[in-house]
Structure 1
Amino acid sequence: MTRLLHRLSALMATLLAMIGALALGACSGSPEPAKPKTEFNIGWSIYAGWMPWPYAQQAGIVKKWADKYGIQINFVQVNDYVESVNQYTAGKFDGVTVANMDALTIPAAGGKDTTAVIIGDYSNGNDGVLLKGANSLAAIKGRQVYLVELSVSHYLLTRALEKAGLKSTDVKTVNTSDADIVAAFGAADVNAAVAWNPQLSVMKGEPGVAQVFSSADIPGEILDLMVVDTATLKANPNLGKALAGIWYETVALMQRDDAEGKAARAAMATLSGATPEMFDSQLKTTFLYADPKAAVAAATSPSLVTTMTQVRDFSFSKGLFKGASSADAVGIAFPGGKVLGDPARVTLRFDDTFMKLAADGKL
C-alpha cells in the first residue's frame, strides 16, 4: 500500500477524460462560486506522511477542531491513491492528500482550481534509484531502468540523470507497476530500478544492490500536501483553520518520545498495515513539517518556485498537460503574488494563510 498504487493506468484514464476540461476549465483562474456549508469530506490514502490524518480522526482530534469551528470533517480512506485524487477531481471530495506533482498533473491540469493549505512533508529518502553491481550513478548509462512511468519515480530518475550530467536518452525506461517491481527487480537480467517505500527497502536489501540516488539528494522537491477545492475554501475558511489545527496538534503528539507519542505512532502503524518498527523506519525518510513556522518558510521560499518549475517542465515534457502548447498552460500561484505560468489560468495555489495562523498561535 503506497501513495501511488497503480498510478499509470489510472492516470492515463484520467488524463484522457480531462482533455476537454483542460481546454475549458483552465481558461480562467477564477474558481466557480461555492456556498458556505458545514460538512466536508476529505480523501486520504496510505502513506507514512499522511497517517496523522486518519489517526487524528480516530483519536478525536478531528472532532475537537471541527467542533471549534462549527463544522464536521469526515476523512475517507481510498485504497488506490490515484483513485482518491480522481474522486477529488470529480468533486466527490472537498480535499485530498496528494503529492505536488500529482496535484499539478491531475486536478490542476484538468482545470480544477486547487489550493494547497498544508505542506505536510517531503520525501527524504522514501524514493530511490537502485543499481546492481555498481555503486555509482554514472553506471546507469545504457541500462534499462524499471519504474512506474509518468510517476514521481520517473521524475526522480530525470533529476538523478541531470545531477550525473546524463540525458534521458542515456537510459531506457521499462514501465513496471508498483505491485510487480520487487519481483521484476529480482530477475537476473534486471539491473536498474526506481522505487518508493516500502518496496524500496525490500529491493535495496538484496545482495549486490546499491542505492545510488534518492529523494534525500533533492530535498523538498517531492512534497506531500493537503489540498482543498479553492472555491470551497474561499466560501468556508473555517475548514482551512480546522485542518491546520488538526495537523499541527497531531504531528506534535506523534513526535513525542513519551508513552503517548509512541502509542500514537503505533496506532498510525496499525492504520497503515505496518508494524511500529516498519512505520518508524518510514518516518526516518520522511521530513515532517511539524513546526508551522518551518512550513510557512517552505511555502514562501524561492526554492518552492524552483521546484515547481522543475516539476511542471518535467510534466509538460512527458505529455501530462494534454492539449497544452507550453508548460505555461497551467498557472501556479505562490504566497506573495508570484505566479508561474499564465496568470489567467491559475489552477494550483500554494496558500500559507492557515499555516501562518498556526505559527502565530491564532487558530
Structure 2
Amino acid sequence: MHRFFRAAAVTAALGLGLIAAFAQPAEAASKKTFKLGYSIYVGFEPLQWLKTSGVLKKWADKYGIDVQIVQINDYVGGINQFIAGDLDAFAMTDMDQLTMPAAGGVDSSIFLITDYSNGNDAIVSKTANSVKELEGQNIFLLQYSVSHYLLNRALILNGMKGVGAVKTTNISDAEISAAFISQPDMAHAVSWKPMIPDMVKGAPGSKIIFDSSKIPGEIMDVFVGNTATLKDNPDFAKALTGAWYEALGHLKANDATAAEIKQAMAGRLGTDVAGTEAQMATTHFFWTPAEAYEFLTAAKTKEIWDYVRTFCFEQGLYGQGADSVDAIGIELADKSVLGSPKAVKIRVDPTFAKLAMDGKL
C-alpha cells in the first residue's frame, strides 16, 4: 500500500509540470488509447480484476477505445509519469494530487472517487491512552504523508495546535513496523494497514489511540485525469467508470464473482481473502455512483479540501514561490473555487458519477 508524498518530489513535480504543459497531443480529440496507472492498494486493487476478466475491455469496446491499466510499484514515480504526460490518469490520494500535479502546475480532475480511509490509517502508542497525552512527545511517521496529516487533525480535534504540539521523526513506511516492534524507546507512531495490525500485535501493550474513522472522508483515494484529456476524450472516463461500478456491484452483492475478485485482490495484496476483507472493512468504498455523487457534491467536501490545503501550505508543500494558501485554486463540484480562480489546478468533477447514477453510460 503506497499512500504517501515525498518532499523531494515537489521539485520534480514542478519541473515535470513545465514539461507536461508542452506535452499535450496536438489532436487530443482523436486519441484512442489511454493509460491509467496505479500502485497496489486495497481501494484500487479491483482494477487488476477488471483488466484480467475482460470487463474493462468490454466497456472500452463500447466506446471504441483501448484502456490500458499499468501497475507501477513506485507510487511517487507513477505520479511523476502522470505529470509528465506519460499516463492519462493515475490513482492517488487527494493530498497527493494537491502537492504533486497541482503544485507542479498540472491542471487535473478527479473523475472517480473510489473510497476513503475509514480506519486504515492510525496512531499507535505503547504508553499513551489518548491523543492529548502526546503533547511534547516524539512521534515517528513518514513525513509529509497522509500519516502526517492524520496526526495534525488528531491533535487539532483534541484542542492542540496541530503538529506544532509534538516532535516528529521521519521514518520510511518500509521500516516503521519493524522499528516500532524492536525499539522500546519508539513509543508513538503513525502508519497504515497492513503495518498497523503488525505493530499492535508485535509490541505488547500498544494500542490504537486515533484512526481515520474519526475524520471520515478526509483521506480520499481518487482517479485523477489530465483535465484537457478528459475534456477532449470523455469516453475514457465513461469506460473506466462503467467498468469500476460493475466490479463494485459484484463486491457489494457478495456474489460468486465477488469471491473471484477478492481472491484476485488477495494475491495482489500479498495476503489471503480474510486479510483482504480486514482491509476492506476499514475502507469506505463508494459502492454506488449515487453515493460517490452525493459525496463529491456535498458541502462537507469543500470543508475537507480546506483542511487539506491548509495543512499542505503550512508544511511548505505548495512548492517554492507559493506565498498564500490561495496560490492553488481548487474548483469544487458546484464550480465554486477555494483559492485563486485564476490558478485552478484541481477540479472535482461529478459528471461521470452522475451519468452512471442516471444509467446513461
| Structure 2: runs of 5+ lacking an equivalent | none
* Residue in structure 2 matched with residue 259 of structure 1 by the alignment: 256
Matched AA of 1:202 = D
SS in 2 for 1:238: helix
Residues 39 and 20 of structure 1: is their aligned pair in 2 closer, same or farther, counting only changes over 3 Å? closer
SS in 2 for 1:115: strand
Question: What does residue range 283-362 of structure 1 map to in structure 2 within 5 Å?
Answer: 283-322=280-319, 323-362=321-360
Q: In percent, how many aligned pairs have the same letter?
A: 44
Residues 25 and 265 of structure 1: is their aligned pair in 2 closer, same or farther, counting only changes over 3 Å? closer
Instruction: Say if 2:191 is the partner of 1:195.
Output: yes
Matched AA of 2:314 = S
Instruction: Say if 2:22 is the partner of 1:16.
Output: no
CA distance in 2, matches of 1:22, 1:189: 42
Instruction: Say if 2:167 is the partner of 1:172.
Output: yes
SS in 2 for 1:348: strand
| Structure 1: runs of 5+ lacking an equivalent | none
Question: What does residue range 58-207 of structure 1 map to in structure 2 within 5 Å?
Answer: 58-167=52-161, 168-186=163-181, 187-205=183-201, 206-207=203-204
Matched AA of 1:115 = S
Give the C-alpha shift of residue 178 in structure 1.
Answer: 0.2
* Residue in structure 2 matched with residue 3 of structure 1 by the alignment: 2
Residues 24 and 267 of structure 1: is their aligned pair in 2 closer, same or farther, counting only changes over 3 Å? closer
Alignment match of 1:275 (pick from 258, 272, 276): 272
CA distance in 2, matches of 1:332, 1:25: 19
Residues 272 and 247 of structure 1: is their aligned pair in 2 closer, same or farther, counting only changes over 3 Å? same
Does the aligned pair in 1 maintain the 2:20–2:84 contact within 8 Å?
Answer: no
CA distance in 2, matches of 1:239, 1:75: 12
CA distance in 2, matches of 1:32, 1:318: 37
Give the C-alpha shift of residue 291 in structure 1.
Answer: 1.1
CA distance in 2, matches of 1:73, 1:240: 10
* Residue in structure 2 matched with residue 222 of structure 1 by the alignment: 219
CA distance in 2, matches of 1:335, 1:136: 37
Following superposition, which runs of at least 4 residues in structure 1 exceed 3 angstroms of deviation?
18-26, 31-35
Matched AA of 1:253 = H
Deviates more, 1:219-228 or 1:161-170: 161-170
Does the aligned pair in 2 maintain the 1:113–1:346 contact within 8 Å?
Answer: yes
CA distance in 2, matches of 1:88, 1:163: 34
Q: TM-score, normalising length from structure 1?
A: 0.94
Q: CA RMSD in A?
A: 1.9
CA distance in 2, matches of 1:128, 1:346: 32
Does the aligned pair in 2 maintain the 1:24–1:111 contact within 8 Å?
Answer: no
Matched AA of 1:344 = K
Task: Count the aligned residue pairs.
Answer: 355
Residues 346 and 33 of structure 1: is their aligned pair in 2 closer, same or farther, counting only changes over 3 Å? farther
Does the aligned pair in 2 maintain the 1:56–1:250 contact within 8 Å?
Answer: yes
SS in 1 for 2:278: helix
Question: What does residue range 233-244 of structure 1 map to in structure 2 within 5 Å?
Answer: 233-244=230-241
Matched AA of 1:131 = S
Does the aligned pair in 2 maintain the 1:37–1:236 contact within 8 Å?
Answer: yes
